[in-house]
Amino acid sequence: MEKSLERASAEQLPASQTPDTRRREIGSEVSPSPSSSSTSEQHNGSTPQFVNTIRANFEAKYEELGLLGKGGFGSVYAGNRRTDNFQVAIKQIPKADVETQPTILNGKIYMIPKEVLLMLRAGDGPGSVGKSAAVSLLDWYSFDEEVLLIMERPVYSVDLWNHLNDNGGALSEDQAKNIMKQLVEASIQMLSVGVFHRDIKTENILIETRSDEPRVRIIDFGCGCRVRKRPFSSFSGTSAYAPPELFIKGKYKAGPTTVWQLGAVLFELLDGDKQFTTSEYLCDKIKLNQKLSQDCQD
């Protein structure tokens, strides 16, 4: 989980701190911040807590352990819930980098981090721990300088990028099919509740390995947003996986972009060596592995 629970890029880190050579540029959202909007969202999921601003409450409930990953948008630490030693991941985000959205909770308006709202919709809160494809949010805290997100931490797991390395750099078609089926189902579920992840890639996919059949879990909703009918014109995510229509027309939509990014993941699962980039695809520089079955190539 060390690399997969962070949102970093070679552009945002000095070369000496770059986690690996596959780390891509992550663009910033340049459309108006939800916090400046006059509209509010009525949240209909389970809320772990409203706004907790007391650090002592966090320290009494959770024990923070070693660093899992660090990037341009914050750091992620391993941790335990003190009452039962349940293993958690603690994501620390500088307050200046947190987008908030006015949200009605029990009749009052709270400024809630957008990532919190997306995770609650995708994973449906603490009650879904271990049940949803999206990793569940357990708690969150807002302090003067930072926001903390407390998430479940699947213990027997590895990000998909490392899973590929552990399996010799590429998967068989049957192995890839199993993972892709789960990813498609997870994507359909997220879009159905209005969540556009926008940064689906091997580093943001965990593979639970405790059973014979690997299980997919989705992490890092920091680039995500709500699904909407009108096209998006600004991109927040990994530029290597931006949809071609963004380059060609300057606009893109949630569903087709998700399909495009799933296709990029499938390419990397089966190629095992070459990174997919949309820009190379548009220049006809992406070549399929001719050893794959014709159905798979199609």
- Give mean pLDDT, residues 177-194: 97
Between CA 262 and CA 260 the distance in angstroms is 5
- What is the average pLDDT across 9-22? 32
CB proximity list for 46: less than 8 A, separation 6 or greater: 120, 124, 125, 126, 127, 128
**Which residues, including other chains, have CB under 8 Å from residue 161's CB and lie 6 or more apart?**
3, 4, 20, 22, 202, 203
The confidence score (pLDDT) of residue 104 equals 85
Rounded to whole angstroms, the Cα distance separating 119 from 96 reads 20
Rounded distance between C-alpha atoms, residue 58 and residue 91, angstroms:
13
| Share of residues in the chain with pLDDT > 90 (%) | 61
DSSP-based three-state secondary structure for 220: coil
pLDDT tens per residue, range 231-273: 999 999 999 999 999 999 999 999 999 999 999 999 999 987 7
Q: Which of 139, 166, 174, 199 is catalytic?
A: 199
> Which residues carry a binding-site annotation for ATP?
68-76, 91, 152, 159
Place of tokens 């009749």: 107
- Per the prediction, the chain carries an average pLDDT of 83
Q: Please report, rounded to a whole number, the percentage of residues in the chain having pLDDT higher than 70.
A: 81
- Range with the poorest average pLDDT among 47-61, 111-125, 136-150, 205-219: 47-61
pLDDT at residue 12 in the model: 29
Give the long-range contacts of residues 215-219, CB within 8 A, separation 24 or more. 215/182, 216/133, 216/179, 216/182, 216/183, 216/186, 217/133, 217/134, 217/135, 217/154, 217/157, 218/122, 218/133, 218/134, 218/135, 218/186, 218/190, 219/4, 219/5, 219/134, 219/135, 219/151
| Residue positions forming the annotated binding site | 68-76, 91, 152, 159
- In the prediction, which pLDDT does 123 show? 86
pLDDT of residue 125: 65
**Residue 92: pLDDT above 90?**
yes
Decide the pairing of beta strands 225-226 and 215-218: unpaired
Is the pLDDT at 294 greater than 60, yes or no? yes
Per the annotation, the verdict on 199 as an active-site residue is yes
pLDDT of residue 106: 80
pLDDT score of 51: 75
Q: How many residues does the chain have?
A: 298
Confidence of residue 72 (pLDDT cuts 50, 70, 90): low
Mean of pLDDT values over 50-57? 84
pLDDT per position as a tens digit, 103-112: 887 888 888 9
Nearest Cα neighbor of 261 from 175, 166, 190, 157 is 190
Q: Which two tokens stand for residue 100?
A: 């908030």
pLDDT of the residue at 80: 96
Domains of the chain (ranges; CATH) run 17-152 (3.30.200.20), 157-297 (1.10.510.10)
- Round to whole Å and give the CA distance between 207 and 263: 18
User: Token digits for 76?
Assistant: 């992620």
Residues 67 and 74: beta-carbon distance below 8 Å? no
DSSP class of residue 79 equals: E
CB 82 within 8 A of CB 90: no
pLDDT in tens, 118-171: 999 998 666 667 789 999 999 999 999 999 999 999 988 989 998 998 888 899
Q: How many CB atoms lie within 10 A of CB 268?
A: 23
